[in-house]
Amino acid sequence: MLIVEFLNKYLFGLGIPILLIGAGIFYCVRLGFFHFLHPIKVIKSLGTQESGGGVSSFKAVMLALAGTLGVGNMVGVASAIALGGFGAVFWMWVSALVAMILKYAEIVLAMLYRKYDVNGRPYGAAMYYVRACFKGKLGVVLAGVFAVFCIFNAFTMGSMIQVNASANAMSGVFDTPPIAVGVIFALITLFATLRGCSGILSLTEKLVPFMTLGFTVLSLAVIVMRPNEALAAVGKIFSGAFNIQSGAAGVSGFLLSGAIRYGTMRGILSNEAGCGTAPAAHAVSSCREPARQGMWGIFEVFVDTILLCTMTAIVIIIGYDSTDPTGDFMMMTVDAYESVIGSAAGYFLAIAVLLFGLATVLCWAHYGAEGIGYFSRRKSVRNAFTVAYSLCVLLGAVISTDLLWEMADLSIGVMSAINISALLALSPEVARETEYYLHKR
């Protein structure tokens, strides 16, 4: 536990923000800031569909969003504010603005290096371009390490943390026994995942748009009801962004501040840009143009962090005096919404968290299966993973997740370090695909 905390605070807590922001700035310059300068081109790229043997681009992005929307938007934002102060939200914005181009790049590479099964269906993940990037034994080792941590993260953040947050919300609002939520989640996950990617896609395609719209309406209702406090909340975010921890000085204190560490890491946990998970979702797309599919990655980060996480943060800051920042982060979020709208908000939010959590659990079942698939694509191996994953879902409803959050930070840190290194090395290929796509269009 102490080793994990040390690594998260001093290695990944310092190194990953620098690596993430530095790589994002590098890619922004390398690709000419096209996503900022030509937003219309990005938006137009989201409208067309092509047939290439896989699923539609929309279904692929709904699967990816299922993995990002959920605990990261509620528990992640609440924990970032409680542990890093209001200024942590600002660093979530920074990480999102520079990291959205990284998600674009990793999706482009996933499309370039994806594989096809015997039936002609595409599949892929970050491991394949990591192995191609680093030649020889180094590539084999790094790709294998990435796959192992992806599997481990599926068991922790992808399953147990998600169902724990959902169980806590249902218990706190409806007094539902946590084990009941665990059983329901485990059964749905088991049957959907045994059907393969198609079973997961059929559920996430329906869940994600519905729950995103509902959560947006609820959050906007709070902001509209308290406009002055909402503006004050934005001011607190900016004023707290540059507060240095007492006893720290200069650049080192700035980089080690709680706001940056928790803001950036929770931002990554929320939108997953740069950590290499989204490629497993987008690689199944039927799209034949890597750059066009990559545009959906920019859209994902915008919706997740710039839109939904910001609304959640503003509501939490508005109702902050009514919350317990040292207690359960899920109930901290629920209490903030209830302080403005009343108990009805708690009921709605508990159900929303349930659906968010279920969608994320299903998505991470796919990510974990792709990690397993990197080592063996035998059906018996995949089924064994599915059973083990479903058991972890059940276990997550009744255990403490304090250590799991630390382990999730560690896993994301390792995956991000490997993935971003590959993105930087393969930047010429991304630049070439981007130039071709934009010039052709």
CATH of residue 280's domain is 1.20.1740.10
pLDDT digits (tens, 9 = 90+) for 6-47: 666 666 666 777 788 889 899 999 999 888 888 888 888 887
Domain assignment of residue 212, yes or no: yes
What does residue 116 show for φ and ψ, rounded to 5 degrees?
A: -135, 140
Residue type, 122: P
How many CB atoms neighbour CB 238 within 10 A?
12
Is 56 a member of any domain?
yes
392: in domain: yes
Q: Which residue has the tokens 């796919």?
A: 366
Provide the pLDDT for residue 249. 30
Q: Are 178 and 167 in contact (CB under 8 A)?
A: yes
d(CA 423, CA 109): 8
C-alpha to C-alpha distance for 250 and 240, rounded to whole angstroms? 17
Q: For the beta carbon of residue 333, count every other beta carbon within 10 angstroms.
A: 28
User: What are the mean pLDDT values of the chain's consecutive 10-residue runs (441 residues total)?
Assistant: 63 72 90 87 74 71 78 73 80 79 94 90 94 92 95 89 84 86 92 79 80 87 92 89 46 38 52 83 90 91 85 91 74 86 84 84 92 92 93 88 76 89 96 88 54
408 falls within a domain: yes
Only one residue has tokens 């992808």, namely: 158
Q: Is residue 241 part of a domain?
A: yes
Residue 95 · residue 102 · CB < 8 Å: no
The Cα 5–Cα 157 span in angstroms is: 16
How many folded domains does the chain comprise? 1
Cβ pair 329, 90 in contact under 8 A: no
Residue type, 201: L
Kindly state the tokens that stand for 285.
């797309």
For 344-396, give the secondary structure using H, E and C. Answer: HHHHHHHHHHHHHHHHHHHHHHHHHHHHHHHHCCCHHHHHHHHHHHHHHHHHH
- The predicted pLDDT at position 244 comes to 53
Task: Confirm whether 354 is domain-assigned.
Answer: yes
Give the position of tokens 């508990």.
350
Phi, psi of 117 (to 5 degrees): -85, -175
Q: What pLDDT score does 248 carry?
A: 31
Helix (H) or strand (E) holding 122: strand 122-123
Each residue's pLDDT tens digit, 243-275: 654 223 333 333 334 444 454 555 555 567 788
CA dist 328 and 326 (Å) reads 7
CA torsion sign for 3, 245, 401, 279 is: negative
Structural domain contains residue 440: no
Q: Would 441 be classed as within a structural domain?
A: no
What are the beta bridge partners of residue 115? Answer: 123
Full residue range of the structural domain in which residue 107 is found:
2-435
Structure pTM? Answer: 0.85
pLDDT score at 271: 65
Tokens read off for 410: 């560690």
| pLDDT for res 257 | 40
Cα separation, 164 vs 187, whole angstroms: 16
